[in-house]
Amino acid sequence: MAVKGQRVGMEVSIAVSHAVQLARAEAVAAYPITPQTHIVEHLSSLVANGDLEAEFINVESEHSAISACIGMSAAGARTFTATSSQGLALMHEILFIASAMRFPIVMAVANRALSGPLSIWNDHGDIMAARDIGWIQVFVENGQEAFDHSIMAFKIAENYKVLLPTIVNMDGFILTHVVEALEMLDQETVDKFLPEYHPRFNLDPKHPITMGAFAMPEIFSEVKMGHQQALTASYEHILRVWEEWGKLTGRVYRPVERYRADGAKVLLLIMGSLAEVAEVAVDDLQAAGESVGLVKLRMWRPFPFKDLREAVAGAELVIVCDRALSLGGAAGPVLAEVRSALYPLAQKPAVLGFTVGLGGRDVQPETFKEIVRLARQEAAAGPTQEYFLFGVRS
Amino acid sequence: MSKPWDQFTWQEVEIGGVLTEPGSARAYKTGDWRSQHPVWTKSRCIKCGVCWTVCPEAGITEQPDGYFDMNDYCKGCGICAKECVTGCISMVPEEE
């Protein structure tokens, strides 16, 4: 029997900070950046008011924020931070160190375009530039999912078989600044779900160990292999945590989710909040008799190869809607990965890529309908371009 | 380290590359890097210890008889030879 949480109207950023409070985070270091600011601002208030017993370190930059998080995680604390865009970029070199040293830090990323030109609005340019940092990365679609995954991320990250930092990606403004009706959980329920954190290794003068030792060429690849294997194997543990959450709350999450996709010849594929907009387009298109469904990629790292292949099996055309560019490359990052995942299959759909909603450009259901129309044309005639930046005036 | 690095499989590497035993720096003989090393001519050495003082890597150890010699951490930089008061230290290339 699923727990029925209290239903409240709340800004999603505030809900995320409450999720972190319910998870009993012990250490937070963060620097404000739009559109993430409300998350850590509210966490700071919770700590200052004594509602969350945690160390909150104000730092002078995101580079310091993630560095302080590493230090606090090394000391054995359950650690959280949040950032966005330029902030994530400023963390960049340290992000690899956090994952290589296997610190189960949880970070909310309010996805936002990277400059330039300067933009504070939503796309996935920030996280795609940090694609290969070796963290677990999931995308959420609405406020409830942002709340749920912010709690689950700790349980996933802290598993001794996982021990990897985890990013919960949520679209900036579209999610972070919207007031949604959310189902909150009480402390007792979360405590039962998420036990106290006991680090596998931590800095303790009584038991000295070395963290972050350098590696000569003879051992570097072996350490990397261990990281790669752990990230790949985290898939099973993520699923187990999501399953437990599903039983607890009735909200079930899968690495790849499908919406009215059974038997559909054409599939839209998207990550993040725009999937809900695409649902409306799919409803309209199906009502008009078109065979169009939707596939949503929730788990980005580890990449769910098997789930993706199953989700698109039988389709003739997959239209990947990227929210970022790989300038000078063949495609948006999601398109490149989806094509790569499907390439070994004997029977595979045509895969076309349309990048949409860059730097906060509004995406309406009509956008997806137009993309489906264009993609059908392109697929029939043979694609004229490597990928399409949708809606650009020329 | 219980064995040399090039004998570890990836499964044997501790999570995050953590070294669970202290003293790993001592076990790693960084003197392997050097291309030359100091040699003391004892007849001209006055046991002043300037070489020991100026060595940036603690690569010189005082011997029981009061003379000095390099240890496994000497990287052959030659500062000791340059600063030696009596000029009793000469730098000798490593044998191939």
Hey, where are the domains in chain B? 30-96
Q: Is B3 exposed, middle or buried (0-12, 13-18, 19+ CB in 10 A)?
A: exposed
Q: Give the pLDDT score at B29.
A: 86
- A152/A219 same-domain check: yes
DSSP state of B3: S
- A30/A175 same-domain check: yes
- A217/A301 same-domain check: no
Q: Give the pLDDT score at A112.
A: 98
Beta-strand relationship, A256-259 and A166-171: unpaired
Q: Is A245 exposed, middle or buried (0-12, 13-18, 19+ CB in 10 A)?
A: buried
* pLDDT tens-digit readout, A279-315: 999 999 999 999 999 999 999 999 999 999 999 999 9
Under the banding of pLDDT at 50, 70 and 90, the label for residue A320 is very high
CATH code for position A326: 3.40.50.920
- Asked whether the beta carbons of residue A219 and residue B20 sit closer than 8 angstroms, the reply is no
Q: Give the pLDDT score at B23.
A: 80
CATH code for position A48: 3.40.50.970
Distance CA A282, CA A291 (A): 9
Q: How far is A33 from chain B (nearest CA, A)?
A: 30
- A116/A233 same-domain check: yes
Chain A residues 160-199 within an 8 A CB cutoff of chain B: 163
- Establish if A394 belongs to a structural domain: no
Q: Give the pLDDT score at A51.
A: 97
**The last residue of a domain, from among A249, A272, A291:** A249
- A321/A223 same-domain check: no
* pLDDT tens-digit readout, A146-169: 999 999 999 999 999 999 999 999
Nearest Cα to B53, choosing from B73, B91, B83? B83
- A238/A261 same-domain check: no
Distance CA A270, CA A297 (A): 6
* pLDDT tens-digit readout, A97-151: 999 999 999 999 999 999 999 999 999 999 999 999 999 999 999 999 999 999 9
Is A48 an interface residue toward B (CB < 8 Å)? no
* pLDDT tens-digit readout, B10-65: 999 999 999 998 887 778 888 988 999 999 999 999 999 999 999 999 999 999 99
Q: Give the pLDDT score at B96.
A: 59
- Cβ-nearest to B18 among A211, A222, A230: A211
Contacts of A7 (CB under 8 A, 6+ apart): A181, A182, A183, A184
Percent of chain A with pLDDT over 90: 97
- Asked whether the beta carbons of residue A222 and residue B13 sit closer than 8 angstroms, the reply is yes
Q: Work out the mean pLDDT of chain A and round it to a whole number.
A: 97
Under the banding of pLDDT at 50, 70 and 90, the label for residue B72 is very high
Judged against a pLDDT cut of 90, whether residue A5 lies above it is answered with no
Query: Coil, strand or helix: which one is A97?
Result: helix
Tell me phi and psi for residue A103, to 5 degrees. Answer: -95, 125
Q: Are A83 and A107 in contact (CB under 8 A)?
A: yes
The domain of A17 spans 6-249
Under the banding of pLDDT at 50, 70 and 90, the label for residue B4 is confident
Q: Within 13 Å, how many C-alpha atoms sit on residue A256's CB side?
A: 20
Over residues A325-337, the mean pLDDT reads 91
Nearest Cα to A261, choosing from A211, A314, A209, A298? A314
* pLDDT tens-digit readout, A57-96: 999 999 999 999 999 999 999 999 999 999 999 999 999 9
- A35/A55 same-domain check: yes
Query: Coil, strand or helix: which one is A64?
Result: helix
Complex ipTM: 0.88
- A315/A229 same-domain check: no
Is B16 an interface residue toward A (CB < 8 Å)? yes
- Asked whether the beta carbons of residue A223 and residue B9 sit closer than 8 angstroms, the reply is no
Distance CA B68, CA B62 (A): 5
**The last residue of a domain, from among A249, A283, A300:** A249
- Token pair, residue A179, equals 């007031």
Is A103 an interface residue toward B (CB < 8 Å)? yes
- A260/A282 same-domain check: yes
- Establish if A1 belongs to a structural domain: no
- A179/A51 same-domain check: yes
- Establish if A38 belongs to a structural domain: yes
* Alpha-carbon separation of residue A62 from A46, A91, A105 (angstroms): 21, 6, 14
Is B30 an interface residue toward A (CB < 8 Å)? no
**The last residue of a domain, from among A249, A270, A288:** A249
- A225/A270 same-domain check: no
Q: Give the pLDDT score at B73.
A: 94
Distance CA A85, CA A32 (A): 11
Q: Give the pLDDT score at B95.
A: 82
Nearest Cα to A91, choosing from A121, A114, A61? A61
Is A100 an interface residue toward B (CB < 8 Å)? yes
The reply to whether CATH 3.40.50.620 applies to domain B30-96 is no
Number of domains forming the structure of chain A: 2
Q: Give the pLDDT score at B21.
A: 86
Question: Does a cis peptide bond (omega within 30 degrees of 0) precede residue A117?
Answer: yes
Is B18 an interface residue toward A (CB < 8 Å)? yes
Q: Within 13 Å, how many C-alpha atoms sit on residue A254's CB side?
A: 12
Under the banding of pLDDT at 50, 70 and 90, the label for residue B1 is low
**One-letter amino acid for residue B65 of the chain:** D
Residue to mutate among B1, B2, B3, B5, with most A CBs inside 10 A, is B5
Under the banding of pLDDT at 50, 70 and 90, the label for residue A353 is very high
Q: How far is B55 from chain A (nearest CA, A)?
A: 24
Under the banding of pLDDT at 50, 70 and 90, the label for residue A1 is low
- A237/A330 same-domain check: no
Percent of chain B with pLDDT over 90: 80
Tell me phi and psi for residue B78, to 5 degrees. Answer: 90, 5
Distance CA A30, CA A72 (A): 12
Distance CA A16, CA A80 (A): 11
What angle separates helix A92-100 from helix A217-249, to the nearest 10 degrees? Answer: 90
A29 forms bridges with which residues in the sheet?
Answer: A57
